[in-house]
Structures are given as structure tokens and as C-alpha cells.
Amino acid sequence: MSHRDQIFQGILKALTPLPERAAYPDYDTAATTTPRWLPAAEDNETLFRQRLTGTGGFFFESPADCAAWLKKDGAKSVYLAPQVAHLAAEFAAHLEVVAEYTRDAVDRIDAAVTVADGAIAESGTVILTDSGTPDRLAALAPWWHIAVVPRPTLVRTIGEAIAAFPADPGIVWITGPSKTADVEGILIQGVHGPGRQGSFFI
């Protein structure tokens, strides 16, 4: 008998004697998963900024602000994804702009600006997809990652973001900078992914 059949037969044998099986509970996602402070909270854009900052992320008013901050924080080079190539002038004022991301550039390019497919206000989360990100590594390997959020893609809750999953094999939600507390419970940012995670709206 194949392993598959063995497992399915075992499961059937385990479940058949049950006098009844638990029903799927009836529930309303918004009513059960919405934090109690959310209905009275700010509009989505303000809330996103607050929550992003709360996770240790950075929010910028404009591409120019972002570029100036990157430089001040120590970045020298920045990769711009094709969707934001039109912002090259703003970034070139402060940093070396790279238009191509390649695997051998992983340790050479300091910062990357890519475009999110969406964002969640209640948690300060940005949503990236394979379709929207030219290279998974670009949004992960640099110390600074900026996920640009197109205003209309912003949703309020986790439940809404799930209800509107894009059709993409690789969706990733990023909520703040990469972090660990493995060493004596001390919080360190930037373990494998970016140590600085930021956003601005377009």
C-alpha cells in the first residue's frame, strides 16, 4: 500500500467511530478579528503611517524626503524598480542610482525601492508579489528597502487583505524591518532581510 493510501485509510479509521463530527463554525470575519480600537482610529493613510512607525519602520512624505534620509542614514547606492524609474532624478540627487538588480549585486547595492501591490493600514504592512517585484532578492537583500504604496491599494484590515488576495504564486506581507530576539531576548533589527524598512505613497 502506498504511503498516501496508508495515511488516508488511517484517517478514515480514526474518524469513522466518531458519533458526530464538529461543524464548521459560522462567523463574521470583521466582527471577530477587528481590534476594538480600529473603528475609532484615523483614516487609512494616517493609520498606516502610525502602525508602520510602530513596527520600527519609516514613513516618508515624498520621494525626495526618502532619498535625503537614505543618504543621511548611510546608503550610497539605490536600485529603483522599473515602476519607479521616473523618480530617478529625486534619488540621483543624493545617491548612485542602479536600474538593474542582479544576483552578484546582492552585497553591492545598499538600498532598493520597489512597488507594493497593496498595504494594510491596521498593521502597517506592505504587500509584495512576484508580479510586482522584479526580483525577490531586491526587496530582501539590501539593508534599506523602501516599498512604495500606491494610495488606491491601501486596505484597512488583515481580513480585507485576505479577501482580496491577488492571483500570484508568491505573496509576501512585510510588517516592519527583519528582526530577532534570539540572543537573550534582545531585539536586533536586520537579521537576514532589511534592517531599515520604509514606505511612501504615490
Partner 1 sequence: MAHQKIDTYAATLDPEVRQAVRSNSAAGTEKRYQILGADFGDPDPLRKLAGAIKQHTIEHLDQYLEQAERSLTANGVKVHFAVSTQDARQAVLDILNQTGCRKVVKSKSMISEEIHLNDFLEEHGLESVETDLGEYIVQIDHDHPSHIVKPILHKNRRDIAKSFEREGLGDYNDDPETITRRARAFLRQKYLQADAAVTGANFVVAESGRMVLVTNEGNSRFCLAGTRVHIALIGVEKLVPHDRDLAVFLNLLARSATGQQLTVYTEFLSGAALSARPSGPREMHVVFVDNGRVDTLASNCREILRCIRCGACMNVCPVYRQASGHAYRSIYPGPLGAVLSPMLAGKNFSQLGDLPKASSLCGACNEVCPVDIPIPDLLLKLRNRAKEEHLPSPGTPPMAPFAMLATAPMLWRTAMHAGVALDLTPKNLIPVPALQEWLKIRTLPAWRGGKFRSWYKHRPAKGKDRQP
Tell whether residue 29 is a contact of partner 1 (CB under 8 A). Answer: yes
From 129, 123, 109, select the one nearest 157 (Cα to Cα): 123
- Rounded Cα gap, residues 72 and 196, in angstroms: 13
- Rounded Cα gap, residues 179 and 193, in angstroms: 8
Query: Which one of 63, 142, 176, 198 is in contact with partner 1 (CB under 8 A)?
Result: 176
- Residues 51-80 close enough to bind partner 1 by CB under 8 A: 51, 55
Query: Which one of 92, 131, 151, 202 is in contact with partner 1 (CB under 8 A)?
Result: 131
Q: Which helix (H) or strand (E) holds 92?
A: helix 88-92
Indicate left, alpha or beta for 159 from its phi (over 0: left) and psi (-120 to 50: alpha): alpha
Query: Which one of 64, 68, 88, 106 is in contact with partner 1 (CB under 8 A)?
Result: 106
Q: Give me the least distance between CB of 124 and partner 1, in Å please.
A: 8
- Which burial class, exposed, middle or buried, applies to 13 when counting CB atoms under 10 A from its CB (0-12, 13-18, 19+)? exposed
Query: Which one of 21, 39, 40, 152 is in contact with partner 1 (CB under 8 A)?
Result: 21
**Closer to partner 1 by Cβ: residue 64 or 172:** 172
**Closer to partner 1 by Cβ: residue 23 or 152:** 23
Tell whether residue 50 is a contact of partner 1 (CB under 8 A). Answer: no
132 phi and psi angles, rounded to 5 deg: -85, -15
From 35, 57, 202, 38, select the one nearest 125 (Cα to Cα): 57
Tell whether residue 19 is a contact of partner 1 (CB under 8 A). Answer: no
- Rounded Cα gap, residues 150 and 1, in angstroms: 53
188 beta partners: 180
**Closer to partner 1 by Cβ: residue 90 or 122:** 122
**Closer to partner 1 by Cβ: residue 67 or 105:** 105
Q: Give me the least distance between CB of 52 and partner 1, in Å please.
A: 12
Query: Which region among 58-66, 69-77, 87-95, 159-167 touches partner 1 (by CB under 8 A)?
Result: 159-167
Q: How many residues bind partner 1 (CB under 8 A)?
A: 73
Tell whether residue 39 is a contact of partner 1 (CB under 8 A). Answer: no
